[in-house]
Amino acid sequence: LSQLRDFLLVYNRMTELCFRHCVSNLNYRLLTGREESCLDSCAAKLVHANHRLMSAYVALMPSIMQRRVSDYEASAAQVSQSSAQAGSVAPAG
C-alpha cells in the first residue's frame, strides 16, 4: 500500500511538471502535435532519471543495511557491557 502511494505521488508530480512545461494553450480539446511531443519527451526524461536514481539506490542499499546492522550490534554490545558493569557493582549496605 505504501509503495502504491509513493508511485502515485511520483506519477502525479511528473504529470503536473510535464503538463505545466508543455501545455500552453487550454483553448482546444486536443493536444497539438508539439504539445504531445513535448509531453512524451518530458515523461521519458523523468522516467529515465527515476530509473537511474533507483539503480543507484539499489546499488547502495546493501552497504547502508550493513552499516545499520553494524551500528545496531555496536549499540547492543555497549548496552550489554553497561548492564554487566552495573550488575557487578555491589551496593554498600
**pLDDT for 19-52, tens place per residue?**
999 998 888 899 999 999 999 999 999 999 989 9
Residue 59 in domain: yes
Closest by Cα among 8, 39, 5 to 24: 39
Q: Does residue 43 lie within any of the structural domains?
A: yes
Q: What are phi and psi of 26, to 5 degrees?
A: -100, 15
Distance CA 20, CA 76 (A): 51
Q: Domain containing 3: what range?
A: 1-66
In a domain, 39, yes or no: yes
- Please report whether residue 52 resides in a domain: yes
- Which residue intervals of the chain are DSSP H helices? 2-22, 33-88
pTM over 0.85: no
Asked whether 18 and 30 are in contact (CB, 8 A), the reply is: no
Q: What is the CATH number of the domain that holds 37?
A: 1.10.287.810
Does 36 reside within a domain?
yes
* Single-letter code of the amino acid located at 74: A
- Number of domains making up the chain: 1
Instruction: Determine the average pLDDT of the residues in 49-71.
Output: 89
d(CA 57, CA 55): 5
Most confident of 9-13, 37-41, 68-72, 89-93: 37-41
Is residue 71 included in any domain, yes or no? no
